[in-house]
């Protein structure tokens, strides 16, 4: 992470969440620290689109770990 980068925990990976995550993935100055959604492990496309970000099904755990 570059100094001053904004850390982002993306909540939800449906159409809007995925769209936001893809934008943060491409914009300098932002670092995705995790993706969180109850059914995230059922989403097969996420790893190829967004790389190997930590994935969480529980918000409290995601917030604590990121």
Q: Cα separation of 62 and 56, whole Å?
A: 6
Domain tally, the chain? 1
In a domain, 65, yes or no: no
Determine which of 23-27, 49-53, 57-61 has the lowest per-residue pLDDT on average: 49-53
Q: What is the dihedral of CA 13, 58, 62, 60, to 10 degrees?
A: 130
In a domain, 35, yes or no: yes
Q: Cα separation of 3 and 12, whole Å?
A: 27
**pLDDT tens-digit map of 53-63:** 898 999 999 99
In a domain, 14, yes or no: yes
> What value does the mean pLDDT take over residues 15-33?
90
Phi, psi of 7 (to 5 degrees): -85, 135
In a domain, 63, yes or no: no
Q: Which residue has the higher pLDDT, 47 or 56?
A: 56
Phi, psi of 2 (to 5 degrees): -75, 150
In a domain, 11, yes or no: yes
pTM to 2 decimal places: 0.81
User: In the structure, what pLDDT confidence band is assigned to residue 33 with cuts at 50, 70 and 90?
Assistant: very high
């Amino acid at each position: 992470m570059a100094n001053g980068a904004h850390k982002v925990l993306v909540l939800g990976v449906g159409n809007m969440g995925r769209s936001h995550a893809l934008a943060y993935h491409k914009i300098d100055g932002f670092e995705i620290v995790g993706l969180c959604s109850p059914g995230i492990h059922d989403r097969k496309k996420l790893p190829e689109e967004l790389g190997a970000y930590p994935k969480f099904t529980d918000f409290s755990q995601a917030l604590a770990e990121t």
